[in-house]
Chains A and B, each alone.
Chain A
Amino acid sequence: DIQMTQSPSTLSASIGDRVTITCRASQSINSWLAWYQQKPGKAPKFLIYKASTLESGVPSRFSGSGSGTEFTLTITSLQPDDFATYYCQQYDDYPLTFGGGTKVEIK
């Protein structure tokens, strides 16, 4: 199975900060990576697919990059609505697997 490792597990940041979250795959997944945002008590929200394609309606301050085994999610100017937990998920092979999550907290 493909293991997905996110770092950091928790990130403290302020409004307006640039934030970067890393997701590493245990083997190459090409660009088959998705990113989600989840707030407490809510279902996840689809942000990015194929590593760098923004889902419709997602603000442009979110971006994704990477291929192979290393990927990043960047928020260029953190907004109050962005404090949440972020997950990556690989779509290269079954069983599909998620990263452990990165909680973005207010500094």
Chain B
Amino acid sequence: EVQLLESGGGLVQPGGSLRLSCEASGFTFRNYAMSWVRQATGKGLEWVSGTSGNGRSTYYADSVEGRFTISRDNSKNKLYLQMHSLRAEDTAVYYCAKEACSSTNCYGVDYWGQGTLVTVSS
């Protein structure tokens, strides 16, 4: 059974930093691209960042480019999101997401974590 367990959320002041973690199990982690998706309260889904299975390719939404860094440790089956220069508008539930992929393309998120809440406020 695929499981994605996020941790690291919490309250942080504007301008501060936070690192989210996602522990994956139930699948061969290194074989799959992974993403972070966030959702502010009462708002829609926003894709934040993604990484390839080997971690060499990383992608970011314009809203977080230069402030957030995605990484993974395939030896530990863990995905990370390092967040710097946090703003009030970064307040959201952050979901860890496993990508559904063929040998050539990814085409959706087939598994989601339960989410971890990040609140940016003074």
Interface hit among A20-28, A44-52, A71-79: A44-52
Instruction: Tally chain A residues at the interface, Cβ within 8 Å.
Output: 22
Interface residues on chain B, size class: 20 to 34
Q: How far is the CB of B28 from chain A (nearest CB, A)?
A: 19
B109 proximity list for chain A (CB < 8 A): 34, 36, 44, 46, 89
Are A96 and B62 in contact (CB-based, < 8 A)? no
In terms of DSSP, what is the predominant structure of the interface of chain B? strand
Q: Which of B61, B100, B112, B114 contacts A95 (CB 8 A)?
A: B61
Q: Which residue, of B112, B114, B115, has the highest number of chain A Cβ atoms within 10 A? A: B112
CA distance A34 to B113 in the complex (A): 18
CA distance A99 to B110 in the complex (A): 18
Are A34 and B107 in contact (CB-based, < 8 A)? yes
Q: Which of A32, A38, A46, A89 contacts B47 (CB 8 A)?
A: A89
B95 proximity list for chain A (CB < 8 A): 43
B111 proximity list for chain A (CB < 8 A): 46
Are B47 and A43 in contact (CB-based, < 8 A)? no
B35 within 8 A of A: yes
Q: Which residue of A lies closest to B35 (CB)?
A: A96
Q: Which of B61, B62, B114 contacts A43 (CB 8 A)?
A: B114
Q: Which residue, of B44, B61, B114, has the highest number of chain A Cβ atoms within 10 A? A: B44
Are B47 and A96 in contact (CB-based, < 8 A)? yes
Known: A43-B113, A87-B44. A95 touches B108 (CB 8 A): no
Residues of B94-122 contacting chain A, CB below 8 A: 95, 100, 105-115
B45 within 8 A of A: yes
A91 within 8 A of B: yes
CA distance A20 to B110 in the complex (A): 23
Q: What are 23 pairs between A and B in contact, CB < 8 Å?
A: A34-B109, A38-B45, A43-B112, A43-B114, A44-B45, A44-B109, A44-B112, A46-B108, A46-B109, A46-B110, A49-B107, A55-B108, A89-B45, A95-B47, A95-B59, A96-B47, A96-B50, A98-B44, A98-B45, A98-B46, A99-B44, A100-B44, A101-B44
